[in-house]
Chains A and B, each alone.
Chain A
């Protein structure tokens, strides 16, 4: 692989493939990826809406029966075939390369809008100190929509830029670029080693402060009171499976990429359980913090918790600012809450970008810095053109909804069908996982990934297709949802097919002596099979 390049100014890789220098750093980075905005602003409301305390039952079932098994599928492919998503899938089977590019393109779409939310949250840290929303007659909602985002009345695409969103977004992209250029060990690991402990400390302080607010107990009461009738509703179970699926960052290439940087003799399942429960542990903490704060908000407004409970952008940028204005030491609550969103978001954004950077690094055979620049610069540029505008919120809303359902969910369904029933690779992958792992995968895992997985994912996807066809998403015009929703989701598939048709050059990592060595080592470790039994 030391072929000199006469045309590229020698950006070709001569460096060794990076690995996480310790298991601790892998776990921190994987938790950093899994703990994102959804843990803070989505989980509390999903749990509250779907049975409160009783939601714990479908939630745990979903973690154990879908979340962790799918996480292990990602780990096994990335670790065994040691490559970015397209390369790992190609090495598993030539025909599955397209799945890897599909995931790369999904990550591209998520990255371009994710950076915008991080930038908003960073600005709201500052606004929490100045209580900027108090000056707007319509309160926090008016401030967010009119003063801050300056949202256009007509749904469409405009290029009216909003300066105070553009600048923080530019800073987010610059910070991210520096981390990505520094690589897996000096960039991703270090960023997670700093941001994750900081996030946990900040969030714990926030939760402690919230539970001592007046009315907080009413919020917790609403959050934990079980509604057992909800358990008879299939939609509640689908909500639990759907939430876990998105929360754990499975099936969009991130865990394939991260596990490819793990040492060969890693305890994959043991680490995976820590990642999954750390992710859920953080969500539970978020549920307590958010509902304690909402309890205070309801107490102050003289209304019930049900009236103020909300999720997503409404919770973060409308409900929380109201709480910040009213609570004692509100400024501190705001800085801790929005700071947590920034750190949780950044560590997830890094992992999303790594899927794309690693794929291009493998395909081009370039060194880290040029490969990062060739990926992050165009992604940042597109993000900075589309989202800091007066129509950015509409785009973000539609793209987020459609890429989640018809990108990640659809890709996951295809993946479990292809690797399970299609290629019958689950026994081979389980055997690979079991080689050095503390918790062994048996028939149960193969049934969950090959049987329950397709059934649960298929049910969710059919439900989503029906609901999105029945009424236009968010009431937006048909052309808008058609282009940026359905069209975008379809373009990802077409793009993935086209990308998989581009041949791998002689400088690419398809012929990698380092991988041949890894392959030889893995094969050397395989136990001989008893005669007649074939994997």
Chain B
């Protein structure tokens, strides 16, 4: 393999697989929230602004 091909192989791996790793780290830092803990008030139940 030529030098430039090796360089581009490494850059591709770093950006794409690195991007996946960074995305996974970001997600793991934001744990899943539980829907049950949401405040649900009767007054807002009829709000039709959705």
Contact = CB atoms under 8 A, between A and B. Distances in A.
Interface residues of B, number: 36
Q: Could you tell me the dominant secondary structure of chain B's interface residues? A: helix
Q: Which of B9, B11, B41, B47 has most A Cβ within 10 Å? A: B9
B50 A523 contact: yes
A81 B50 CA distance: 8
A519 B27 contact: no
A365 B34 CA distance: 28
A267 B11 CA distance: 29
B11 A56 contact: yes
A277 B50 contact: no
Interface residues of A, number: 46
A80 B41 contact: no
B26 A273 contact: yes
Contacts of A516: 45
Contacts of B12: 53, 56, 224, 284
Nearest to B29: A438
B34 to A, nearest CB: 7
Top 3 A-B residue pairs of the complex, sorted by shortest distance between their CB atoms: A53-B8, A265-B33, A277-B20
Interface of B: 1-2, 4-9, 11-13, 15-17, 19-20, 23-24, 26-27, 29-30, 32-35, 38-41, 44-47, 49-50
Given A220-B1, A277-B16, A519-B50, A52 B9 contact: no
A281 B1 contact: no
A22 B29 CA distance: 16
B44 A520 contact: yes
A522 interface: yes
Contacts of B32: 22-23, 263, 265-267
15 contacts: A53-B8, A81-B50, A91-B50, A220-B1, A263-B32, A263-B33, A265-B32, A265-B38, A266-B33, A271-B27, A273-B19, A520-B46, A523-B49, A524-B47, A525-B38
Nearest to A279: B20
B16 A284 contact: yes
